[in-house]
Every structure is written in structure tokens, then in C-alpha cells.
Amino acid sequence: DAKTTQPNSMESNEEEPVHLPCNHSTISGTDYIHWYRQLPSQGPEYVIHGLTSNVNNRMASLAIAEDRKSSTLILHRATLRDAAVYYCILRGPVRIQGAQKLVFGQGTRLTINP
């Protein structure tokens, strides 16, 4: 089953960019890379996802390596509200038969200093 590896924790300063790395060396060609974040006492929140090309939305950017074995979530200008645990997850296509296991890593706890 595809697995992701992330640093346990990272720290950054407010209003600076943050680059959160994720390794997924066993990714298959049809796996999408999803990022979610979980603020304290809340359910996870969708951030961004992509397949091969880099993606941008209002929350963040996702940079995907050419070999797709790693990706980086970029928060362009961190705020105190971005302090959360960030999860990088691989999500594959639908399988009619057989189980597809979705594997979450431990995530990266991001601390933002004022």
C-alpha cells in the first residue's frame, strides 16, 4: 500500500513562506496527492490535491516532483491560523473489487511564531 513520509514537526514565522515536504516513493501512476490540515479540536480540512502538474488555489500551492515520488505544500504567507497538523495522503482510483487502503502518515505539526 502506498505510504507517505512527512517530518514530525516544522516551525516558521508569521508572514513567511512555508514549505511542507512529503515523500511518497511507492506512489502509483493513478494516485492523486491530497493535502489536508487539522486545526486543534476540529476535523481535517481539505487544502489541495493534484496528480502530476503543480496546483494552486486560494489556500496554498502544491509542487509535485517530476518523478512524483515527493511533493511540497507551499503556504505563501503563513498566518497564526495556519498552525495545524498537515497530512499528505495518496488517494487512488476507484476499484470495483478489492480493497484500497488509504494510508495517512503521522502528519507534520506546523507551529507559526508571531
Partner 1 sequence: KAGVTQTPRYLIKTRGQQVTLSCSPISGHRSVSWYQQTPGQGLQFLFEYFSETQRNKGNFPGRFSGRQFSNSRSEMNVSTLELGDSALYLCASSFGTGGTYEQYFGPGTRLTVT
Rg (CA), the chain: 14
95 binds partner 1 (CB under 8 A): yes
Q: Which of residues 65-84 bind partner 1 (CB under 8 A)?
A: none
Of positions 3, 68, 91, 109, contacts partner 1 by CB under 8 A? 91
58 binds partner 1 (CB under 8 A): no
CA distance readout (Å), 60 to 3, 89, 103: 22, 16, 22
CB nearer to partner 1: give 19 or 46: 46
Site mask for partner 1 (CB under 8 A), range 13-52, x = bound: -----------------xxx-x-x-----xxxxx--x-x-
For residues 74 and 69, give the distance between their C-alpha atoms in angstroms, rounded to a whole number.
17
Contact footprint for partner 1 (CB under 8 A)? 30-32, 34, 36, 42-46, 49, 51, 87, 90-95, 99-107
